Amino acid sequence: MSMPQSYDVSLLDEERYRLLVEAITDYAIYMLDADGRVASWNPGAQRFKGYEAWEILGEHFSRFYTNEDRLARVPERALRTAATEGRFESEGWHVRKDGSRFWAHAIIDPIWDRSGELLGFAKVTRDLTERRQAEAELRRSEQKFQLLVQGVTDYALYMLDPEGHVSNWNIGAERIKGYTAGEIVGKHFSQFYTEEDRERGEPERSLETAKREGRFEREGLRQRKDGTRFWAHVILDAIRSEDGELLGFAKITRDITEKVQAQKALTQAREELFQAQKMEAIGQLTGGVAHDFNNLLMAILGSLEILKKRLPNDPALKPLLDNAIQGAERGAALTQRMLAFSRRQELNMQAVDVPALVNGMMDFVQRSLGADTRIETRFPGRLSSVVTDPVQLETALLNLVVNARDAMTTGGLITIAAEEHVASERPAKLKPGRYIRLSVADTGEGMDPETLARATTPFFTTKGVGKGTGLGLSMVQGLTEQSGGKLAIESWKGKGTTVSLYMPVADSSDCPQSSETSMPSPTETPKGAFTILAVDDDALVLMNTTLMLEDLGHTVLEAYSGTEALETLRKGDHRVDLVITDHSMPRMTGSELASAIRDEWPDLPVVLATGYAELPSGGDNRLPRLPKPFSQNQLQEIVASVLGGGAAPGGAD
């Protein structure tokens, strides 16, 4: 049998208990005799049962139960359970004096005298109606809210003593924080804060604010038992007695991680959408003007090359011509770089000598830097070549150097270095093999871990609006991975950044060592003159193409459109060996012309000349390509490569 227990409750604890009960729940505490008749009645019982003491004393307590429970003999079973097991506890509907029902939590404890005789029962009833209704309403509200924000919100509700030690702990707190009540009660609440916040004195500051102003509310990072962090909305209320004495604090913590992440994702999505729309507009603009701009450069370069051949070797004129040709070639390179920002280019994979490539662009790089920025190169005496696109690698290095320059607001040192690495070292999770590590290091401000994690994200930039596209590092990463390697970034706040490109070492069977090695040798170059049909809707370009071909000894037929070209071929006045056609022409593109030629003259080769980095939709990527603007050497090379395989003159007549 269970014997009664006594509790030594301090006045302070009684006051806390009274404040807590009046704030949250009402209790009815009364006594029953051994038969279940009411023997005492407290004001709390009178308040929510509805009976005055003189009305209920001596009456059987079963009148508080519903008819259904009385018929099921629930009151008798409750007393019997309490007497035999030492306690009875249940929740269910009870009835007030006016007949209204309320949801009650009831506890019945037996009371024994010293000889073990049953004297009666102590009964505590708690009205849970409002809580039950609130829980049902909360469940309905949470279901609606979950549909709206696609998340669940939990609450940690617990008390702190005046010094900030946890005095009680609810299930929500256990779920959010990860501690059980036995692990955390009595511990200081500052252990929920991050180490950085503890060093700044945030826990103490929050208690002082709540003590001074009555309430403290803030959002910030908090720490769970397992060390993981979550974003929390915290409310801290001071609890005082009637005479104003501070009894402690009520603390509510809400996990809003999903909400904060959703807001950040939305903000980031908006920023990326803006950048994407801006870059799409730039891409459309550059794609539209590239053809016309390259045609202008084509006319300039072609005329300058022919002029250089035909002018006397005058020392006063030659430098001027060379400068003009170099300027036009730089304009062509600039166009290709602009196109690289707006659309992905097909890589021209070659074996590239890294030191030679870097040294070849140093003059241009130096002019891109300020007077207070120095640049150094560090290469070993012997270094294997890498497999990549040399033009795209040059563009990537230029992007990295510009980023390094921008990171050093007061100047500093940029170091371009290269060394060989073996994949077994796994510096960047590489596949087995030999790699060259090409790095660009600066002594700038560096990046924090959060910025470093997003550094290669397309359209992410720290340079501010209008100062960066956010595509530089993502382009470098794309080039490196397309080349079969990996990109690695090391950065420390205040100590600079090192960006490393791990690219595979070139094998002799991978690709030609340079563009010159892929050209037909003099013995492979087709002998004799050919009849070539040149097609272009731009008169300047067509004139220069004709001049360069005729200067090479070929006979040239001209056509200003695809329709005119077909008419020329169908006339049969000349046996045509090769067709070189522009792609972007009105009414019939170069690809469409090639298709028509293939239908009628399947053995007649066609070369597509275009200023686009990638052919627009509908272009025939199977055709040999001659990139605009092209030089006479490139023109000679494409003729040699297409007709050098034994094609007989006179493909169409």
- Give the percent of the chain with pLDDT over 90: 11
Mean pLDDT of 98-123: 89
Residue 52 pLDDT class (50, 70, 90 cuts): confident
573 or 430, greater pLDDT: 573
Does 422 reside within a domain?
A: yes
Residue 225 is which amino acid?
Answer: K
Shared domain for 358 and 465, answered yes or no, is yes
| In a shared domain, residues 107 and 172 | no
Please report whether residue 47 resides in a domain: yes
Q: pLDDT tens, 250-300?
A: 888 888 888 888 888 888 778 767 766 665 665 566 555 666 677 777 778
Interior angle at CA 589, CA 586 and CA 590, nearest 5:
135
Structural domain contains residue 302:
no
Indicate whether 161 and 33 sit together in one domain. Answer: no
Is 449 in the same domain as 378?
Answer: yes
Residue 578 has pLDDT above 90, yes or no: yes
Nearest Cα neighbor of 535 from 508, 501, 569 is 569
Give 346's DSSP letter. P
Query: Pick from 456, 476, 504: which residue ends a domain?
Result: 504
Q: Which of 470, 474, 494 is nearest to 482 (CA)?
A: 474
Residues 6 or more apart whose Cβ sits within 8 Å of residue 217: 233, 234, 235, 236
| Confidence category of residue 138, pLDDT binned at 50, 70, 90 | low
301 or 238, greater pLDDT: 238
Same domain, 437 and 549: no
pLDDT above 80 (res 76): yes
Q: How does the average pLDDT of the chain come out, rounded?
A: 78
Does residue 37 form part of some domain?
Answer: yes
Do residues 123 and 31 lie in contact, with contact meaning Cβ atoms separated by under 8 Å?
yes
Per the structure, how many domains does the chain have?
4
Is residue 2 a part of any domain in this protein?
Answer: no
Per DSSP, what are the bridge partners of residue 233? 219, 254
Is residue 226 included in any domain, yes or no?
Answer: yes
Strands (E), 298-363: 350-352
Same domain, 59 and 187: no
471 token code pair? 């595509």
Residue 625: other Cβ atoms inside 10 A: 17
**Do both 44 and 75 map to the same domain?**
yes
Are 126 and 226 members of one domain? Answer: no
Global pTM reads: 0.40
Residues 128 and 207 in one domain: no
Whether 65 is covered by a domain: the verdict is: yes
Tell me the sheet residues that pair with 378.
Answer: 417
Whichever domain contains 457, its CATH number is 3.30.565.10
Structure token pair of residue 547: 């001049």
Same domain, 362 and 496: yes
Q: List strands edge to edge, sheet with 578-582.
A: 555-559, 531-535, 578-582, 606-610, 625-627
Tell me if 4 is assigned to some domain: no
Do 479 and 392 form a contact (C-beta atoms < 8 A)?
yes
- The stretch 73-95 carries a mean pLDDT of 91
Both 377 and 470 in one domain: the answer is yes
My answer on whether 391 and 463 are in the same domain is: yes
Please name the residues in contact with 122: beta carbons below 8 A apart, sequence gap of 6 or more. Answer: 29, 31, 32, 108, 109, 111
Give the CATH number of the domain where residue 102 resides. Answer: 3.30.450.20
Helix axes 257-310, 129-149, angle to 10 degrees: 10
Reported in sequence order, the residue ranges of 224-273 that DSSP labels E, i.e. its strands, are 229-240, 246-255
- Expressed as residue numbers, the domain containing 86 is 11-132
Section 56-67 average pLDDT: 90
* CA–CA gap between residue 38 and residue 61 (Å, rounded): 6
**Domain boundary residue, one of 102, 132, 162:** 132
Identify the burial level of 12 via C-beta atoms within 10 angstroms of its C-beta, where 0-12 means exposed, 13-18 middle and 19 or more buried: exposed
Give pLDDT tens digits for 411-437: 888 899 998 887 665 444 677 788 888
Domain finish residue from 212, 240, 255 = 255
